[in-house]
Amino acid sequence: MRDPLGVANNPASILSTPYPWDITVFSTQIKNSTNAVRFTNYSYLSHPDTIGFEWTRGNLKRFAALNYNIHLLNVRLSLSRTQAISFGANIRGYLSARTGSVNYTDSLQNMNQFFLINPDATYKANMVTSSWLELYGTYSRTILDDAYGELNAGVTLRVMRGISGAYLQLTGGSVTQSIRQDTPVFNLASATAHYGYSSNYDFWHDDQGTGTNIKNFIDHTQAGAAFDFGVEYLVKSQAIHNYDDQDDYFDYDWKIGVSLLDVGANRYTYGTQSRFLANPKITTTDADLNNKFDSPGSFTNFNDSLGTIAGTFNRLMGTFTVFNPARLVINIDRPLQNNFSINGDLTLNLGGSNYGKRLFTKEMTLLALTPRWETKRWGAYMPLTVTTDGKVWLGAAAKAGPLLIGVHNLGTVFSKAKSSNGGFYLALVIRPGKKKDGFRQKEDKMYSCPKY
């Protein structure tokens, strides 16, 4: 289970397994987190025909994050005890959205009521999403091996195709208030906004066949590249072994890993409806906003209406770049007794704010602590996760032979109001059932809860 999935967490990890090969036939993982909306009648065990939801009330900064990773076919091969390779294809995607502090209640009927409960607000928001297809290759080798420890290093190179990208930036939004016939009226005062999307969406037409649409969609994408680099140090046991003891080459007392992941970016050509706007017309009232944007019907109609209230309204041309979720990951693994172990994982995002010229995707996990019990065929895991937005999840996973299944947040299984925060993962991994020359069959003790 570990190495085909662990390579995404540290390319050096493909050496820390006793098996000569393993193949991830298929795996998928999704994580989602938000404080903006709550589903009221849905869980992984309950699927009603109609899903109820409610928007979060109150004055707060709202956020939403989503990422997914689909391993289409990943292979790991040990060339020897000191060298290994891995390769495969993945589909990956990230989305994040944030707003400034805004007051909201679900009883609002129009923009006038919204501005009334936000009289002094400065409106700001950003959203970035990027999805891509990648082919990757990994090489890892042992750099140092002595009686005290073993140092492994690995590198992954990725070639990518950006299949979907979009972003929104709104800053400096404000309104002014006046009284007309004893009724408060709000006029636009200022705002600056950029929004863009990848041009391949412009080539999807309802009057074309699905095959033609998919071909055009893929043909109008651009290439990207990224790399990972990682090292792992295994502290060996200093216990004295007898001559006929089982091979302990892959055993360790501690394993410490450090990796730099997803350093790279995807590039997208602007779609025809991408725009920059500034200097809104101060004669525009809240009633005008209600009338113009009540039912735009299409993106083109939305832009036509927006153009009537903006002093500066220009089409965005050329390309935009979205950086992959570059991050530094520190991982420590400690085997205990009777097939128990514990693992700690710290993830530090390296991307900046999405209000500037550069656009970043980010990993939502900050800290994970995973106790586990594991044998060759069976395993049980209970990860405790802290997200970058302060959410705390207690998850669970189980391994039965080649199948691994788990959830990031147990609340998504048993509660009908928790599914907006959590996610799940599923993997089918095969490996040889018999010992091969130069390798042993005993299960190693490295971290096995899947990381993406």
The CATH number that applies at residue 154 is 2.40.160
How far is the C-alpha of 291 from the C-alpha of 189, rounded, in Å? 18
- pLDDT at site 49: 74
Residue 444 lies in a domain: no
- What residue ranges of the chain have pLDDT lower than 50? 1-4, 243, 245, 435-452
Domains in the chain: how many in total?
A: 1
* Domain membership flag for residue 105: yes
In a domain, 285, yes or no: no
**Residue 447 domain flag:** no
d(CA 53, CA 76): 43
pLDDT of residue 232: 97
Distance CA 295, CA 199 (A): 24
pTM: 0.90
Q: From the DSSP assignment, how many helices (H) and strands (E) are in the chain?
A: 6, 23
Alpha-helical runs (H) found in 60-125: 111-116
Decide if 303 is inside a domain: no
Domain ranges, residue 126: 2-274+316-430
Chain-centroid distance of CA 11 in Å reads 19
Q: Which two tokens stand for residue 405?
A: 């299944």
Residue 405 near residue 425 (C-beta atoms within 8 A):
yes
| pLDDT value of residue 443 | 42
In the beta sheet, which residues pair with residue 157?
137, 227
Residue 449 belongs to some domain of the structure: no
Q: Is residue 382 part of a domain?
A: yes
188 found inside a domain: yes
